[in-house]
Amino acid sequence: MYTDDELLMISAIQHFYYCKRQWALIHMEQQWVENVHTVKGQILHEKVDDPFIFESRKDYFISRSMPLISYHLGFYGVADAVEFRLSKSGCYIPSKDNFYEIIPVEYKVGKPKEDNRDAIQLCVQAMCLEEMFQTTIEIGYLYYGKTRHRHLVQLNKLLRQEVYELSKEMHETLENDKTILAQYSTKCSNCSLYNICLPKIKKSYKSVKRYINIKLTEKE
Ligand code: SF4
């Protein structure tokens, strides 16, 4: 179990999954640069309170911007939306005096990605909710702004195992204060931290200052 001081932001896991260097720059060195993708993401999240997908019905209700925490995984954050569907096999909600199945919904800008990073983030949210409500959550949804569709995600054992391993590695990296070097790849062209990361600098240059000096010399 982790302590309050050791908890990490849930959203950080998708950065870690996508690029460990990006995660380190944002969460260890507090670097963040806006680009078109991050701004679009913020606008979409500001609109989460608009009822553009859901309606309230008798058999379910929705909690928006719900605080989340898991001491077991070592994460905290906020869920965009959590659906509570009336179900005899669900968990008891005292304020409603009834039983509900819990389903997290995460909103994303753009379209579904080729990798698993959005599902990983959704799975962490579900695992936080499981710990908070002492229940089991089988599914969640990812809503994409570009396609305006939501996609069902099965929160299976493989996904959960991946979450456990990433969580462990993130906490260990922070604790050991390890430096994570850049590895240039096709991902870098869309990265908001490209100009801070400078991924094309060879490791042998060791520092940005040395890199700049070398490049200046090359032009002379
Ligand atoms: S520029 Fe590339 S290596 Fe650097 S943080 Fe972004 S994705 Fe990672």
- Range with the largest mean pLDDT of 8-12, 43-47, 52-56, 99-103: 99-103
pLDDT(49) > 90:
no
Residue 197 near ligand 1, beta carbon < 6 Å? yes
Q: What separation in Å is there between the alpha carbon of 19 and the centre of ligand 1?
A: 6
Domain ranges of the chain: 4-180, 182-220
List, for residues 151-177, the tens digit of each pLDDT value. Answer: 999 999 999 999 999 999 999 988 887
Contact criterion met (CB below 8 Å) for 100 and 91: yes
Q: What's the whole-number average pLDDT of the chain?
A: 83
CATH fold, domain 4-180, is Lambda Exonuclease; Chain A (3.90.320)
Structure tokens at 96: 């409603």
Please name which of 146, 110, 113 lies closest in space to residue 38, comparing C-alpha atoms.
110
Mutate to test the pocket of ligand 1, among 38, 197, 203 (most ligand atoms within 8 A of CB): 197
Mutate to test the pocket of ligand 1, among 16, 26, 191 (most ligand atoms within 8 A of CB): 191
DSSP readout, 22-38?
Answer: HHIIIIIS------HHH
Cα-flanking dihedrals φ and ψ of residue 195, to 5°? -75, -15
